[in-house]
Amino acid sequence: MSGETDDLLGRPVRPAALVLADGAVFRGRAFGAETVSTGEVVFNTSLTGYQEIATDPSYAGQIVVMTCTQIGNVGVNAEDDESRRPFLSGFVVKELYGVPSNFRSEGTLDEKLAAAGVPGISGIDTRALVRRIRKGGAQVGVLSTDPAVQGEADLLARARNAPGLDGVDWVARVTCDAPHEVSEGAWQGIEGRLPGPARPSRRLKVIAYDFGVKRNILRLLVEQGFDVTVVPATTPAAEALALDPDGIFLSNGPGDPAAVGGVQPIVRELVKSKPVFGICLGHQILGLALGGTTRKLKFGHHGGNQPGQDLATGKVAICAENHGYAVDAESLRAAGEPVQITHVNLNDGTVEGLAHETRPLFSVQYHPEASPGPHDAAYFFSRFRAMVERSAEGEKVTGVEICSMGSQG
């Protein structure tokens, strides 16, 4: 590639190489940071929202391959970030647009990843790469955008010697450092005029455990009339309860749920006295705290087109998902807790939702905040509001009851 220039930017092309642990080699053009990075290689099937994907902390420790062929065309902007910075290990695209065209754009994806120290590669056959992952499963890869580190033997050795996600606590690397309050609500458009339901007038307090929480989740909790305090992942239950919350939220996050240090006993204590709602990793951690186990999926669910069926109504929602592990259904049945499986993924039958028969507890595997992705499941936030409000009034309410409310909450 010596002497070549990018067609759109007119800059010299930098070489990049992605080498998988199985020996596959993909060579293309570098963007983002000039570095060498290791991570589990997964693919995302979303057609929009590459910025939200790149800034989702749940991708920490992973190199993300976009199946959509053209990425970067609308640029990036501060409002659409889902976290304080990108935590993913690398970004892989077929075609990178370096000259975005959008009235909200404040910069390029290339610039954003470079500032965060994240490497990217473009110009490879992403379809062949995705087919390889689907057939063989997610595996470790090494992405090098450093011109001095391009040798296949060296990169292959690094890939084969690197640990995967199993047994690694990635939450510790993305959680916040200290408690903080959140008051920002849902985006109201450029002129602040997007229509939406009024927030409930009665204020209720929620403690959100940050396992790698996405900002739009917090925004939608605010829209439900919650005063939200975000706390680090290992905040002792006593400290959280001392803040006198009306409910507890368990957030999304990266990696192996069984490897997140110290959180299961915390959640076991919290569920004794407070309503709890979990999303994605929070759902898995709730399942573990209730006696279940989790298992690794072959290549995970990453994208905005997953079919999630509500078993109470039979309705199917098109869901945004991002996870490589799932709660094992049989382990929940054997645990002894009166827990019902409320939702399943129609592609592979994996557990997508849980609810407790005697306590105000429920969780979903997918992302009802839909950032990016479909809004079919947004009603879960109003369900959580109803559960917390009724519990605060002294009413005995259960997760199963809440999850039988229907798709409108």
The predicted pLDDT at position 8 comes to 54
The predicted pLDDT at position 409 comes to 40
The predicted pLDDT at position 11 comes to 67
Q: Is 190 exposed, middle or buried (0-12, 13-18, 19+ CB in 10 A)?
A: exposed
**For the chain, how far is it from start to end, CA to CA, in angstroms?**
56
- CA dist 327 to 22, 256, 285, Å? 28, 11, 9
Helix (H) / strand (E) element for 70: namely strand 70-71
Reported residue count of the chain is: 409
**Alpha carbons 211 and 217: distance in angstroms, whole number:** 12
Enumerate the H helices of 88-141 as residue ranges: 109-116, 126-136
Task: Give me the sign of the Cα torsion angle 171, 173, 178, 183.
Answer: negative
Would you state the structure tokens that stand for residue 398, as one six-digit string?
């259960």
Written as tens digits, the pLDDT of the chain (409 aa) is: 545 655 455 668 899 999 999 999 999 999 999 999 999 999 999 999 999 999 999 999 999 999 999 999 999 999 999 999 999 999 999 999 989 999 999 999 999 999 999 999 999 999 999 999 999 999 999 999 999 999 999 999 999 999 999 999 999 999 999 999 999 988 877 777 676 778 888 899 999 999 999 999 999 999 999 999 999 999 999 999 999 999 999 999 999 999 999 999 999 999 999 999 999 999 999 999 999 999 999 999 999 999 999 999 999 999 999 999 999 999 988 998 999 999 999 999 999 999 999 999 999 999 998 787 787 888 999 999 999 999 999 999 999 999 987 654 4
SS3 12: strand
**Alpha carbons 384 and 229: distance in angstroms, whole number:** 16
Q: Are 173 and 196 in contact (CB under 8 A)?
A: no
Strand order in the sheet with 351-356: 180-182, 226-232, 204-210, 247-250, 276-279, 361-364, 351-356, 339-345, 294-310, 316-327
Type of residue at 36: V
Q: Are 252 and 58 in contact (CB under 8 A)?
A: yes
Q: 26 pairs with which residues across the strands?
A: 18
The predicted pLDDT at position 375 comes to 79
**Alpha carbons 159 and 347: distance in angstroms, whole number:** 30
344 Cβ contact partners less than 8 Å away, ≥ 6 residues apart: 308, 309, 311, 350, 351, 352, 353
Domain segments of the chain as ranges:
15-161, 171-402
**Alpha carbons 233 and 357: distance in angstroms, whole number:** 26
Q: Please give the DSSP secondary-structure letter assigned to residue 367.
A: -
**Alpha carbons 84 and 91: distance in angstroms, whole number:** 17
Q: 344 pairs with which residues across the strands?
A: 309, 351
Which CATH entry fits the domain spanning 171-402: 3.40.50.970, 3.30.390.50, 3.40.50.880, 1.10.10.60? Answer: 3.40.50.880
Cα 189 to chain center, whole Å? 24
The reply to whether 171-402 shares the fold of 15-161 is no
Q: Give all strands (DSSP E) within 289-387, no chain letters.
A: 294-310, 316-327, 339-345, 351-356, 361-364
Residue with tokens 């925004």: 219
Tell me yes or no: is domain 15-161 CATH 3.40.50.720: no
The verdict on whether omega for the bond into residue 372 sits within 30 degrees of 0, i.e. cis, is yes
Helix (H) / strand (E) element for 353: namely strand 351-356
| Radius of gyration from C-alpha coordinates of the chain | 21
Which positions are catalytic? 280, 367, 369
Q: Are 299 and 134 in contact (CB under 8 A)?
A: yes
The predicted pLDDT at position 10 comes to 62
Would you state the structure tokens that stand for residue 35, as one six-digit string?
């570095």
Assign residue 359 a region: left if phi > 0, alpha if psi is -120 to 50, beta otherwise? beta
